[in-house]
Amino acid sequence: MTIPALRIEGLHKSFGDLAVLRGIDMVVEEHEVVCLIGASGSGKSTLLRCINLLEPIDAGRIFIKDDEITADGVHLDRIRRRIGIVFQAFNLFPHMSVLDNVTLAPRKALRLPREQAEADATELLARFGLADKRNEVPDRLSGGQQQRVAIVRALAMKPDLLLLDEVTSALDPELVAEVLNVIRELAVGGMTMVIATHEMSFARDIADRVCFLDAGTIIEEGPPAQVLRDPTEARTRQFLQRIIEAGRL
Amino acid sequence: MTPGAPPIVRRRRSTVAWRSTAVALVSTTVVLGGLAWVVVNAPNWPEVQQDFLDGPIFWESLPDLIAAFWTNIRLFLIAEALVLPFGLLLAIMRGLPGPVFVPIRGLATAYVDIFRAVPGIVVIYVLGFGVPGLQIPGVPNEAFFWAVVALTLIYSAYVSEVYRAGIESVHPSQDAAARSLGLSRLQSMRHVILPQAIRRVTPPLLNDFIGLQKDTVLVSFIGVVEIFRTAQIDQAANFNFTPVIAVALVFIVVTIPLARFTDWLVARDKRRAAAGGAR
Ligand SMILES: Nc1ncnc2c1ncn2[C@@H]1O[C@H](COP(=O)(O)OP(=O)(O)OP(=O)(O)O)[C@@H](O)[C@H]1O
Ligand SMILES: [Mg+2]
């Protein structure tokens, strides 16, 4: 049996009195694509931020392959290099060119020489149709282009696991497809991904497994065909009903 | 629209501009003229004019004053070069998160509180007279040295607050993005937060430097022979205040370009922000 890429056991997380994650157990195999769905406020973003150790957790354990990343005394920066995250709002560095956005972490965190970092970055940018944008500043790109740069920036660290948090929610509808295509390409390439999304048809297309998050626990999971078409839990059915009414499935 | 329309619009607009300029000029002239009239017709005007605005004494003292002004410039440049990094260090110390850094945060906060509370002249007195008075071996006694130290300590407190405002104005998601890529806290500060913060606070930083430039005259009180001290000596020698007025003119001449430069920077940043959208 192979070791899973990600394993979460009994994860709890509160903000003050608000218990956001209430016992999350989750396993993601290597090369697997898992979509997190659930109502707004159900804790999807918080879960992703906990996996990347951007939020300190209250209880539970998280493993990347063999390593417990929630153990005492782990080197946070070194772990984060192995886990990429892409945010809804892109969060590109506005004072740097596209190329510098992509090469900053390889140069400073991995200590790659500039020429090598730039060669790698140029190749990645070209792969995602951004070759001619390498010297632009982020403000001069479209939202879709910015989000693709953000994905390239995460990929430049060659992460074992990529977390995507509603990466198309801030985009104009006509720009959504170009970003989803990039993610699809990554899935085909075997990238292990956990994707929080409201795009149900995309989840159905791309996910190996869908997890439905409700009030801080995963109450249902399975292949997209089953969870999205024929859910067993009443809460999941209600949620999907609302999505269908909103015309998003 | 006919081809002739745009010039008419432009002419109308320039008429309005011309009229408001004229109104401004006339009202300024009336107010200043009125004030001048009041001053010139004051009962003691002739004596005061002689004591403060004596042409020959002005020209005679000016070369000495300008020579002494080099001391102010040296004070200013050395103190500024020290204030920039020291203020930044204080700002970063105050921003360290978590309970581990409570003592460091507390120290930095106390420092900033104290040096903003105590009048600058008191700091200058205590350092300039007090520390040399201790006669600790190896510790310099020159007034110039303690003048630089005092100005640096005072202005670092102000400048650290400016830096801190800048750092806090950068959205936390920028730090999250940097840290998520595996950059350390320090690397994120150095490469992501600070470049954005410093760009935003350059105008207020320059403002503090105008203040520092002026406050270099305060160290005349611990015996540094700079422009104001020199003016006082000339004043005593001539029984005439004109050299002090000359000091004011020298400062006006060097400060106005800096003030205009600051305005220009602010205007440029506004233009950029407008062009770059809301982000
Ligand atoms: N830093 C924080 N401090 C306090 N409360 C927070 C914080 N971050 C998130 N929360 C709260 O935690 C709950 C879950 O938020 P989260 O962003 O994880 O939800 P989500 O499932 O991603 O929602 P959405 O679909 O709207 O993105 C919300 O009630 C939110 O207000
Ligand atoms: Mg969210």
- At residue B12, the pLDDT reads 66
Token output for A164: 């995507």
**Smallest CA–CA distance from B277 into chain A, residue:** A139
d(CA A93, nearest CA chain B) in Å: 7
- State which of A11, A13, A20, A54 you would mutate to test the pocket of ligand 1, scoring each by most atoms of that ligand within 8 A of its C-beta: A20
Q: Which amino acid is at A235?
A: R
Residues A83, A85, A91, A97, CA torsion sign: positive
Q: How confident is the model at residue B9 (pLDDT cuts 50, 70, 90)?
A: low
Contact between B183 and A105 using a beta-carbon 8 Å cutoff: yes
- At residue B34, the pLDDT reads 93
Give the residue from B57, B85, B22, B98 showing the smallest Cα distance to B246. B57
CA A88 to ligand 1: nearest atom: 27
Q: Which amino acid is at B87?
A: G
Per-residue pLDDT tens for A156-192? 999 999 999 999 888 888 888 889 999 999 999 999 9
Q: Give me the residues of chain A with pLDDT under 70, please.
A: 1, 248-249
Contact between A139 and B279 using a beta-carbon 8 Å cutoff: yes
The C-alpha atoms of residue A61 and residue B206 are separated, in whole angstroms, by 50
Q: Alpha-carbon dihedral of residues B158, B164, B167, B173, nearest 10 degrees?
A: -160
For chain B, state the CA radius of gyration.
26
Give the residue from A130, A145, A136 showing the smallest Cα distance to A175. A145
pLDDT of B260 higher than 70: yes
CA B151, distance to chain mean position in Å, is 12
Which residue of A78, A80, A139 is in closest CB contact with B181?
A80
Give residue ranges with CB within 6 A of ligand 1: A 15, 18, 20, 38, 40-46, 166
The C-alpha atoms of residue A166 and residue B89 are separated, in whole angstroms, by 38
Contact between B180 and A95 using a beta-carbon 8 Å cutoff: no
Chain B hits for A54, Cβ within 8 Å: 176, 179-180
- Lowest mean pLDDT across B48-57, B156-165, B242-251: B48-57
- At residue B2, the pLDDT reads 46
Per-residue pLDDT tens for B123-152? 999 999 988 888 888 888 889 999 999 999
- At residue B275, the pLDDT reads 63
- Lowest mean pLDDT across B39-53, B183-197, B240-254: B39-53
Helix (H) or strand (E) holding A35: strand A33-37
Beta bridge partners of A34: A194, A209
Chain A hits for B170, Cβ within 8 Å: none
Residue B231: CB partners within 8 Å, gap ≥ 6?
B61, B65, B243, B244, B246, B247
- DSSP 3-state of A165: strand
**Smallest CA–CA distance from B180 into chain A, residue:** A80
pTM of the complete model: 0.84
Q: What percent of chain B has pLDDT over 90?
A: 59
Token output for B223: 């015996």
- At residue A120, the pLDDT reads 96
- At residue B10, the pLDDT reads 57
Beta bridge partners of A196: A36, A165
**Smallest CA–CA distance from B175 into chain A, residue:** A91
Residue B220: CB partners within 8 Å, gap ≥ 6?
B226, B228, B229, B232
Token output for A111: 């200590």
Per-residue pLDDT tens for B75-93? 999 999 999 999 999 999 9
- DSSP 3-state of B252: helix
Buried b (16+ CB within 10 A) or exposed e, B216-232: bbbbbbbebebbbbbbb
Q: What percent of chain A has pLDDT over 70?
A: 99
Q: Which long-range contacts (CB under 8 A, 24 or more apart) does A133-138 make?
A: A133/A98, A134/A97, A134/A98, A134/A99, A135/A97, A135/A98, A135/A99, A136/A97, A136/A98, A137/A94, A137/A95, A137/A96, A137/A97, A137/A98, A138/A90, A138/A92, A138/A93, A138/A94, A138/A96, A138/A98, A138/A101
Q: Which candidate in B180, B187, B196, B272 is best for mutational testing of the A interface (most A CBs within 10 A)?
A: B180
- At residue A134, the pLDDT reads 92
Tell me the CB-side half-sphere exposure of residue A35, using CA atoms within 13 A.
27
Q: Residue A215 Cα, ligand 2 centroid: separation in angstroms?
A: 13
Per-residue pLDDT tens for B204-245? 999 899 999 999 999 999 989 999 999 999 888 888 899 999
- At residue B4, the pLDDT reads 45
Q: How confident is the model at residue B277 (pLDDT cuts 50, 70, 90)?
A: very low
- At residue B278, the pLDDT reads 40
Per-residue pLDDT tens for B25-68? 999 999 999 999 998 888 888 888 888 888 888 899 999 999 99
**DSSP string spanning B106-121?**
HHHHHHHHHHHHS-HH
- At residue B183, the pLDDT reads 96
pLDDT of B175 higher than 80: yes
Chain A hits for B182, Cβ within 8 Å: 77-78, 80-81, 105, 109-110, 157
CATH H-level superfamily of B71-224: MetI-like (1.10.3720.10)
Any CB–CB contact under 8 A between A114 and chain B?
no
Between the alpha carbon of residue B188 and those of residues A77, A138, A194, B223, the distances in Å are: 11, 18, 25, 45
Which residue of A83, A94, A108 is in closest CB contact with B183?
A108
pLDDT of B1 higher than 50: no
Between A72 and B166, the higher pLDDT residue? B166
Residue A44: CB partners within 8 Å, gap ≥ 6?
A36, A37, A38, A165, A166, A196, A213
**Smallest CA–CA distance from B274 into chain A, residue:** A139
Any CB–CB contact under 8 A between A113 and chain B?
no
Token output for B55: 């042409």
d(CA A82, nearest CA chain B) in Å: 8
Per-residue pLDDT tens for B17-26? 888 889 999 9
Buried b (16+ CB within 10 A) or exposed e, B25-43: eeeeeeeeeeeeeeeeeee
Q: ipTM of this model? A: 0.92
Closest-approaching ligand to the CA atom of A87: 2
